Amino acid sequence: IGGAQGTKGESAIAVRARCRRVIRRWLAGYVVALLGIVPIALPCWERLRDTLGRFVTVEAFHVVEYSGLGWLAVSYARAAQTPPRALALLIALIAGVGLLDEAMQVWLPARVFEWSDVFLNWGGSLLGAALCGTLARLMDAINPARRTLSTR
């Protein structure tokens, strides 16, 4: 980055540290996304699904998976100090991924496209984004010294 300055006159070291945090969050999001795919391949998944079936339906995993992506979108937007319009575009992109995720099931054997799953994906991404934004504002209000990023 050389002699790069942040948006608030940050030093190059602070900019690099912020970029590293963003990259770590996105890598964590990638792991979360992969974990959303892994249960399909596990042989013990049927037994686990039968055990959890009384408490949690399989569709609830859509909300959990996409709320993680919504959380990461808001985390990235706060760390990169993006404008609200860019955050809305990022959330819309995640919603598009949720639609594409379901649309790809047309070509998979024993899988079907369901609009209810698409809506669960969308709801999950909005839920994660709302939770992250709310908790970040709450933490900023509790500890103003923690606030290193601008709040919108």
**Alpha carbons 152 and 83: distance in angstroms, whole number:** 8
Helices and strands, number each (H, E), in the chain: 5, 0
Which domain, by its residues, includes 142?
12-146
Residue 118 lies in a domain: yes
**Alpha carbons 45 and 126: distance in angstroms, whole number:** 27
Residue 7 lies in a domain: no
**Alpha carbons 87 and 109: distance in angstroms, whole number:** 35
**Alpha carbons 110 and 106: distance in angstroms, whole number:** 9
Q: Burial of 69 by CB count in 10 Å (0-12 exposed, 13-18 middle, 19+ buried)?
A: buried
Q: For position 145, what pLDDT does the model report? A: 65
Residue 1 lies in a domain: no
pTM confidence score: 0.58
Residue 5 lies in a domain: no
Residue 127 lies in a domain: yes
How high is the mean pLDDT in each 10-residue block of the chain (152 residues)? 51 75 73 59 58 59 81 81 82 86 84 84 86 80 61 44
In sequence order, the 6+-apart residues with CB closer than 8 A to the CB of 65 are 32, 33, 36, 121, 124
DSSP 40-100: HH-TTHHHHHHHHTTT--TTHHHHHHHHHHHHHHHHHHHHHT--HHHHHHHHHHHHHHHHH
Q: For position 58, what pLDDT does the model report? A: 64
Q: For position 150, what pLDDT does the model report? A: 44
Residue 107 lies in a domain: yes
Residue 36 lies in a domain: yes
Q: Amino acid identity, residue 96?
A: G
Count the domains in the chain: 1
8 A C-beta contact, residue 79 and residue 26: no
Residue 6 lies in a domain: no
